[in-house]
Structure formats: C-alpha cells, structure tokens
Amino acid sequence: MHNLKSISKMLRSLHSSLKKTVNCEPTTVNSYFYYIFCCLFILLIFSVGQSFAENRHSVKWVDDGDTIVLMDGRRVRYIGINAPEIDHKGKKAEPFGYSAKNYNKNMVLSKKVRLEFDKEKHDQYGRLLAYVFLEDGTFVNKVMIGQGHAYCLYRGPNKRYNKKLLGAQRDAMTAKKGIWKNWKEEKNRYLGNKKSKRFHLETCTFGKRTGFKNRIFFSSKWDALWEGFAPCKRCIE
C-alpha cells in the first residue's frame, strides 16, 4: 500500500509537470510523449514488482518429499515429480520416504518460495500444482529429483520442464544417488504407455488397455524410468 501511494504521488507530479510543459511550450510534442512514456514505464515496473512480491509465499509445513503447506493453509504439490511415500492412512512408509521429506524440509521450511504454474493449476484433491523456486532461484522440483529423492512423474498438460527434470533424473541415476543407490531388480517385461508415460507389468489389467500405437516394451524398470516413464501404482511396487 505504501508503494502504491508513492507511485500515485510520483504520477501526479509527472502529470503536473506535463501540463506545464504542454501549456508553456505547445510545440514540444516530444516532451509530451516523453512524459507519457515515463508514466507508462513506471506503471509497468510497479505492476511487475507488485506481482513478483505477491507470488512470494512462506512455507509453514512440509508434508513429504513432494508436497508443502503455505502459511495461508494451501497445499502445494510439486509438478513433475513423485517422492516415496511416508506412512499415512495405515500404510507403511516406502523406502527413502522420510529421507525425501527431511531433505525437502531442510530446503524449504520457513523459507519464502515463488510458485510458477502451468496449464493445470489444481489436482483432483484441490492442491495447487506448481514449480517451486527459492528466492535464490533454486528450482526445488529439479533438486529433489537431482539428489535422488524423487523420480519424474509426467502428468499432462503440465510439461513445461519435463526435459529439464528428466535430465536431472538421469544424472541422479548415473551417480547412483538416493533411491538409485544399490539398485536391484529382477528382470521382467514391462509395458509402457507412450501417451500417459506410465509403465506396467505386462500382465497388468490397466496396462493391457493401452492402445497398440501407444505401446512400448521395456526389459527392466530401470530402462523405463530412464526414458521418463513412471511405474503404475497398482501393479508395481
């Protein structure tokens, strides 16, 4: 509000100067347009700065490795990533679930963050869907993946940073960080859906619904994840 009053005062001053300029020197059209330009420029700077400030939010709580709660109570789900679950609703925590939560907590709790939205702003649970950035520009979604605390979770139409997130995941896989450390799995055959970017056991009922033109097969979970596919929660643990 203080900034708004200052801007209004400045614009009134410019307007007064403009009237004097036009009245005293009617032929100085350039001066007239110069002051108009100054007014518009100041308004632009103010509106951008105000928007920039309003998009800063303090983090009140960290639910887990991919969800936070803002000071105003709104929940924010990080776009494009999925972290291992912690125990909830009678379900046991998944491996690395609490290490992912703690890493996220150390990074964002009580900090101010900037939210960047994509085409779809809310999920089916009413949570905000956002790319989250710290004040120093740190891309939180990418860091969580890059440190091996989460994997890529494609969900259209929000795909602005898909390539960047997948690149971070491949770096983490190569370096065997977090969830990729000591990776072991039995060879199996998996059916991927090129449209949804999910992969299933070949015997999965949901996987079998994939249209033939969208089908792709993998011989390991690792290969599917490397290509940016996420596991079906119903058939793959």
- pLDDT tens for residues 123-136? 999 999 999 999 99
Question: What band does 70 get if pLDDT is binned at 50, 70 and 90?
Answer: very high
Tokens of 201: 């056991």
Question: Is 85 a residue of the active site?
Answer: yes
Distance CA(149)–CA(142), nearest Å, equals 10
Distance CA(26)–CA(32), nearest Å, equals 9
Question: Is 227 a residue of the active site?
Answer: no
Question: What band does 49 get if pLDDT is binned at 50, 70 and 90?
Answer: very low
What pLDDT, on a 0 to 100 scale, did the predictor assign at position 89? 79
What pLDDT, on a 0 to 100 scale, did the predictor assign at position 48? 39
Which class for 216: exposed (0-12), middle (13-18), buried (19 or more C-beta within 10 A)?
middle
Question: What band does 52 get if pLDDT is binned at 50, 70 and 90?
Answer: very low
Which one of the listed residues 56, 75, 77, 234 is annotated catalytic?
77
Distance CA(162)–CA(5), nearest Å, equals 42
Question: Is 135 a residue of the active site?
Answer: no
Which one of the listed residues 75, 85, 120, 227 is annotated catalytic?
85
**Percent of the chain whose predicted confidence (pLDDT) is above 90:** 72
> How many CA atoms does the CB half-sphere of 208 hold within 13 Å?
5
Question: What band does 17 get if pLDDT is binned at 50, 70 and 90?
Answer: low
Question: What band does 234 get if pLDDT is binned at 50, 70 and 90?
Answer: confident
Mean pLDDT value across residues 71-100? 94
- Total number of residues shown for the chain: 237
Cis upstream peptide for 231 (omega within 30°): no
Distance CA(90)–CA(225), nearest Å, equals 28
Tokens of 129: 């869907």
Which one of the listed residues 127, 155, 160, 227 is annotated catalytic?
127
